[in-house]
Chain A
Amino acid sequence: MKKTFKVVAAFAAASMLLAGCASEPAAETPTFPEGSTMAALASKGEIVIGTKFDQPLFGLKGLSGDPEGFDVEIGKLIAKELGVTPKFVETVSANRETFIQQGNVDIVIATYTINDKRKEVIEFAGPYYMAGQSILALKDRTDLSTPESLVGQPVCSVTGSTPAAKLEEIGAEPVLFGTYTECLEPLRQGTVVAVSTDNVILAGFAAQYPEEFAVMGVPFTEEPYGIGLKKGDIEFRDWINDLLEKSYADGSYKAAWDATAGTVLPFVDGPTPNRY
């Protein structure tokens, strides 16, 4: 009995020693202020990022299962700086705030326009890109180049989105579906005369179907894209803003653009993050 006890004790001591060796941290784990979101994410080893899955150039889920696009690349930059793996979850226009508020995602990078109403319930880091609402129509309808040309006409967008509100405001007839891709078939058939949303989303569709559609005119609103996170988390917001400015300087922002949206749209220098 005594002999067995000694053997077991020796074994336990040896295994504890070996366990100590195994849990030594990797050489380059970044350190963050204690109690901050960055530290929590780093120890969790994963960051859950809400993004679009149906937006060409910004967040498009291919058959491989992983989404690709500019928003996804920005998300990967953030994850790399935290030293964690990014996990992408689909967020559609209507549920972005609720997902952040309920903690289903850590951040949202999903062609997310910054506005004051949203700022009441979540924080925005960025903007990391300046888009604008524009018009997509059949290639020969070059007359539909201004918001005035859409008055009284059926125009497609997505339920509960900012472009949909703008369409009601300018006097067009909104025809709303769940996603932008559902708008393309009615546009082909002529049931709607145009699809209206941010120019980058439309450019993606124009690039997918260049013989059928084209973006008309110039953007008639200003849509700053931001990164949504939990309300009150100023520390995390400042950290992301610092990271964005760093990425402008060291070229990783341009590399992310060139690899995704840059194949269709020209590169523009990143906008200064708004530290409000």
Chain B
Amino acid sequence: MTGDEMTLVLQTLLDGFLVTLSLLAISGLGAFILGTIIAILRISPVSTLRGFAAFYTEAIRNIPLTLVLFFCATLLPQLGVDFARTFGASTHYYILAAIGLSVYTSPFIAEAIRSGVNGVPFGQAEAARSIGLDFGQTLSLVIMPQAFRMTIPPLINVFIALTKNTSVAGGFAVIELFARGRDLVRDFGNYAIPMLLGVAICYLLVTIPLGYVSRVIERKVAVLR
């Protein structure tokens, strides 16, 4: 393989990697916000909100990601959702994929947060109530700060899964890392395996540091306990 070809391969991988990173960041943020809201609804004193959150979690968690993205990329436009007029076709599909990934990942984040909240001793909530704090204050001042320390490892787990799930968007008009990988396999069919290994390494560049962060935080939490 010539130097020029190598540059082309690395450039193609980089283009795809940047799209994957940005999709991961945006979907991760969206999923985190959605997931936190759902988790709060789930532990709220209002039973209708609890019921809605439980239904949302069960429903979305059990639908395969491909189906969620298919719905977003194919059916949402039919229902009138159209970003192409203002942003162009590629961005339109990018936004739809980000919406799909956020919605799909949110129940997993909600459950991770809820498990952290359940890990905080019940006495904390009781004590907060007895000194007169209301639900919102209890949550933000007493429960959540303690819960978040414990939810970080399972949360990072969800983000690692989200990193890999961005590859499914490649089949729905988002030209991210895996779609670029297919281009490389088409153009350099004789080096198909090294091309795919290159793609895998790019994903590892994200997931391995995330796993390291998770371990570091776990150790810190153990000391605190």
Residues of A within 8 A of B (CB): 94, 97-98, 101, 117-118, 120-121, 154, 159-162, 164-165, 173-178, 182, 185-186, 189-192
A161 touching B186 by the CB < 8 A rule?
yes
Contacts of A94 in B (CB 8 A): 182, 185-186
Contacts of B84 in A (CB 8 A): 154, 190-191
Complex CA–CA separation, A174 to B93 (angstroms)? 12
Of B82, B89, B92, B190, the most chain A CB neighbours within 10 A belong to B89
Closest residue of chain A to B83 (Cβ to Cβ) is A191
Contacts of A101 in B (CB 8 A): 192
Contacts of B189 in A (CB 8 A): 97, 117-118, 120-121
A160 touching B182 by the CB < 8 A rule?
yes
Instruction: Jot down 8 A-B pairs with beta carbons below 8 A, ordered by A.
Output: A117-B189, A159-B170, A159-B182, A160-B182, A162-B186, A164-B183, A165-B183, A176-B173
Say whether, besides A120-B189, A159-B170, A175 and B182 are in contact (CB < 8 Å). no
Closest residue of chain A to B178 (Cβ to Cβ) is A159
Min distance, Cβ B214 to any Cβ of chain A, angstroms: 33
B82 touching A191 by the CB < 8 A rule?
yes
Min distance, Cβ B111 to any Cβ of chain A, angstroms: 30
Q: In chain B, residues 84-128, which have Cβ atoms closer than 8 Å to a Cβ of chain A?
A: 84, 88-90, 92-93
B interface secondary structure, majority: helix
Size of interface on B: residues with Cβ below 8 Å to A: 25
A173 touching B183 by the CB < 8 A rule?
no
Min distance, Cβ B67 to any Cβ of chain A, angstroms: 14
Say whether, besides A154-B90, A159-B171, A173-B90, A185 and B78 are in contact (CB < 8 Å). yes
Complex CA–CA separation, A113 to B159 (angstroms)? 40
Contacts of A161 in B (CB 8 A): 186
Complex CA–CA separation, A159 to B84 (angstroms)? 20
Complex CA–CA separation, A203 to B108 (angstroms)? 45
Contact of B89 among A159, A173, A182, A185 (CB under 8 A): A173
A192 touching B89 by the CB < 8 A rule?
yes
Closest residue of chain A to B92 (Cβ to Cβ) is A191
A177 touching B77 by the CB < 8 A rule?
no
Check: B160 CB closer than 8 A to any chain A CB.
Answer: no
Contacts of A164 in B (CB 8 A): 183
Complex CA–CA separation, A248 to B192 (angstroms)? 36
Say whether, besides A159-B170, A162-B186, A176 and B88 are in contact (CB < 8 Å). no
Complex CA–CA separation, A161 to B187 (angstroms)? 9
Check: B74 CB closer than 8 A to any chain A CB.
Answer: yes
Complex CA–CA separation, A199 to B182 (angstroms)? 23
Say whether, besides A175-B89, A175-B173, A191-B92, A186 and B77 are in contact (CB < 8 Å). yes
